[in-house]
Structure 1
Amino acid sequence: MELSWMKTFVTVAELGNFRKASEALYVSQPTVTVHIKSLEKELGVSLLERGKRFVRLTEEGRIYLKQARQLLELHQEGLKKIQSYAQGYRKSLKLAISPLIADTIMPFVLKKYLENHSEVEISVEIMESNQIDDAVMSE
């Protein structure tokens, strides 16, 4: 089974139209049709109900859509991790800081930290102070 088939299926399900999906994916409309038919053949079920001007999910399509999204997200997460590793990052650090800290002291602190910890990939999210507690608690 090809991940591109799943991506096509999710796109068609979200847009409800083969033409719009083909434009969003930068492929031809016949390619979208082939992907959907291939996926349906592989799964042994019909995922979409097709009309002249609409496409709707079948019950099987609704069930499979959630799993297809999860698989694609997991694949994207894996790609990000391997790309970070290939760039030399062995650890990651997520920070949530207030705008005031971001504008004043944080650039200096980050620069000093990275001089001694070049293997750490840092992502910074700037948010209001009252939101930081909730962000930390929800990771």
Structure 2
Amino acid sequence: MRELSLDHLRTLVAIADLGSLAAAARALHLAPPTVTVHIADLESRLAGQLLVRGRGPAVPTALGERFIARARRLLADADDAVEDVRRQLAGQTGRVRVGASTGVIAHLLPQALERLARDHPGVEVHVQVLTSQESMNRLAAGSLDLAIVALPQPDMRGVRVTALRRDPVLAFLPASWEAPKRLTPAWLAQRPLILNDASTRLYRLTAEWFAAAGEHCRPRIELNYNDAIRTLVAAGYGAALLPQEAREPLLDARIVTRPLMPALWRKLGVALRENDLGGPTAFVRQALLADAAPPR
């Protein structure tokens, strides 16, 4: 049997609701012969009578009653599917693939996701742990929709980057160390260091800070997880240079922080594809920008 037509099902349900073929034709803006053809086609395909038609109202047969109940569910599902697509095209629903570092995911993304869930509950965010370079490459390839990346980033065709915020980079030290109020590259270069690995923008930013003062940083260990780095600092294993990501960071009592001299800043931006500036992706971007720290 060929596939059933939703138009034919809609005609059948209208007849059951309104009591006659003529009333259904008027409600559906169809010619009466078209309504007759719809019902005849359904009955032919099902090899059974669905309606008792005579001088009085059109009445469903026992077979017709069961089939009409199923037809109502099919039509409701079809209407829901169409409405879901319309909502997605309007940007009210959809899935957004986001790339970010572990630090950003832990300290910046939660506030934005909370705002997004309140303002656009139909938007689902799928988060991937990626370096800034990986995120930019995936954006260009179309396997990512939005990313929070360290700045600056080289221009990449088809990808737009907007400044989001900047955070001071601080020295995180074991509390048992004696340290001046502000730390220079020369002072830190003589201490054991725990840094992000060389694939990250933060590592390059830190290395450039040391190099500008004629110093070379030699990390004892390289990690990509800032919380793990803080744990090692607390254990007295070394000092770390990390952005002050949380607005009110709760530090382990075994850790102290010091500002750097000269000051060092980690800048973040929101990157997305230029052909995806609307819909759910735009809502995620808006939520991130709304929670961005004011310029300093």
TM-score (norm 2): 0.31
Structure with greater strand share of residues: 2
Corresponding position: 1:17 with 2:20: yes
Between Structure 1 and Structure 2, which shows a larger proportion of helix residues?
Answer: 1
Write out aligned runs for 1:122-133 (5 A).
none
Alignment of 1:3 onto 2:6: yes
What stretches of structure 1 of length at least 5 have no aligned partner?
Answer: 92-115, 123-139
**Residue 52 of structure 1, CA deviation:** 1.8
For 2:22 and 2:32, locate their aligned partners in 1 and report how far apart those are by CA, in whole Å.
6
Superposed CA deviations along residues 16-75 of structure 1, whole A, max 9, x for unmatched, are: 101111000010111100001111111111100111232111110011111000000000
Shift in CA distance, 36/120, structure 1 to aligned 2, threshold 3 Å: same
Larger radius of gyration: 2
**Residue of structure 2 equivalent to 1:67:** 70
1:44 to 37, 40, 47: 47
Runs of 5+ in structure 2 lacking a partner?
95-114, 123-296
Q: Identify the residue that residue 33 of structure 1 maps to in structure 2.
A: 36
* Equivalent residue letter for 2:13: V
Q: How many residues align?
A: 99
Please tell me the residue identity of whatever aligns with 2:32.
Q
Summarize the alignment of residues 57-136 of structure 1 with structure 2, pairs less than 5 Å apart: 57-90=60-93, 117=116, 120=120
Amino acid at match of 1:4: D
| Structure 1 residue 87 displacement after superposition | 1.1
> CA separation in 2, counterparts of 1:39 and 1:121?
41
Identity %: 31
SS in 2 for 1:46: coil
Aligned Cα root-mean-square deviation (Å) = 2.1
Counterpart amino acid of 1:39?
Answer: L
Moved over 4 A (4+): none
CA–CA distance in 1 between the matches of 2:7 and 2:79? 13
Instruction: Normalising by structure 1, report the TM-score.
Output: 0.65
Q: 1:48 is aligned with what amino acid?
A: L
